[in-house]
Amino acid sequence: MSKRTNDFWSSPLTRPAIKSPEVRLPEMLLGYFIGPFGALLSSGIFTSILQNYFTDVLKLDLTFLTTLQLFSTILIVAANLVVGQLIERTRCLAGKARPWILLSALTLSVASVLMFIIPFEGTARMVWVAIAYNLYYAVAYPIYNTANSTLIPVSTRNSQQRGALASFTNVAGLGGRGAGSMVCPMLVSFALKEEQNLWFLTMLAIAIFSALTIFLQFKFTRERVTEELLGQGDTPAAAKGASLGEQLRAVASEKWWWVVMLFYLGFQWSGAMKNGSMSFFCKWVLDNTFFGSADAWGASQSLLGVLGAIPMAVAAVFVVPLANKFSKRIVVFWGMVVGAVGGVIAGLGNGQIVPVAIGVALKCLGSAPAAYMILAMLADVIDHIEFKRGIRTDGLTMSIYSSIMVAATPICNSIFSAILNASGYDQAADV
């Protein structure tokens, strides 16, 4: 490591603000809640309204959207795997994940705006959207999300503290998605409508907010496990890290790694399908006369967002203590049972807002333990693999975790675009 690199990571701007060997409240709040909340806010907004923006504001061809989102999935998965290995091989005073967090303060904020700068028409517009879409989902978001996910297992070896950090991070992510689902539909239906300039100004403000909060996350986090490994006599294994092949063999032979990953795949993708289709469900299926007008779909979607967010916020207080008492696995299992019951109630609601709202609230309450504990469960599995095989698999595990998370939205949106296309949906029609 060169002196110049040391000087950069030792400067007042990049020097970590966290000195304590134990996880304290400022680190939890600034590094694992406010930072991820701002960073993931744009993703939450995109999950809620990006499909609607593409179809009803830009009026893009549905076949193009289906093709773009499916093709982008390949790039997203590849990018996450590459970023994971880059993180695994990064060794500097800032750690291995935190330098990428700092980089994403620029990349994520810039990329989140580009889809809302539309300088072209026709084919050129589609080319611009395709490039901007992939810069966000296949470049900027993998850099941030993989690094953010990697922070949990390298933050501390204390399982209970790590569970608390995972809970804070996932509450922040759900908060960002909740803000997108609660505020943006009303903003779109009552203010933004099809005004391209208003969409751009809104996303520009969010991008600036994201950049500031990501920098806070960089300053108020610390990689104690990385520091520990680098302090073990600077051994070649600690300095170099395990190869991709070694990591693959280690995770492939561990059944609990597969159990957690397959569970997360179903959990994340079913949620993405629900979130991506919610605005259309509220427009076409839900009875919006509760708000005095059949056109008040934005208010209905915001109400469902609020009723989903409240039980998840309440659950955040109880999930970690319950997991510490009964184990993460038991709490997550029974939570999913409650969530399944809520899903059935919402499905049987026949478009009536009261039973649908009750079902959504129960579903979100039941989903809370899985949403809050998944990173802590993965971190426990990584420690278990390290104990058995003597190597860390943070980079590979978290890149696959991030791939599942990021790819869920484009894949599910492409499926929904194909459904709209097959059903003859005309986004240029007045009604």
- pLDDT, mean of each 10-residue run, the chain (431 residues): 58 85 89 91 80 83 86 87 87 88 94 88 90 93 90 86 83 75 70 79 91 95 86 49 83 91 88 78 79 70 79 82 88 92 88 88 89 84 89 84 79 79 67 46
pTM, to two decimals? 0.70
For 309-330, the pLDDT digits (tens) are 788 878 878 888 888 888 888 9
For 351-393, the pLDDT digits (tens) are 888 888 899 899 989 988 888 888 888 888 988 998 888 888 8
Q: Write the secondary structure of the chain as one string of H (helix), E (strand) and C (coil).
A: CCHHHHHHHCCCCCCCCCCCCCCCHHHHHHHHHHHHHHHHHHHHHHHHHHHHHHHHHCCCCHHHHHHHHHHHHHHHHHHHHHHHHHHHCCCECCECCHHHHHHHHHHHHHHHHHCCCCCCCHHHHHHHHHHHHHHHHHHHHHHHHHHHHHHHHHHCCCHHHHHHHHHHHHHHHHHHHHHHHHCHHHHHHHHHCCCHHHHHHHHHHHHHHHHHHHHHHHHCCCCHHHHHHHCCCCCHHHHHCCCHHHHHHHHHCCHHHHHHHHHHHHHHHHHHHHHHHHHHHHHHCCCHHHHCCCCCHHHHHHHHHHHHHHHHHHHHHHHHHHHHHHCHHHHHHHHHHHHHHHHHHHHCCCCCHHHHHHHHHHHHHHHHHHHHHHHHHHHHHHHHHHHHHCCCCHHHHHHHHHHHHHHHHHHHHHHHHHHHHHCCCCCCCCC
pLDDT value of residue 234: 44
For 161-197, the pLDDT digits (tens) are 887 888 788 778 777 777 766 677 777 767 777 778 8
For 120-136, the pLDDT digits (tens) are 888 898 999 999 999 99
pLDDT value of residue 431: 46
pLDDT value of residue 110: 94
pLDDT value of residue 34: 92
pLDDT value of residue 2: 42
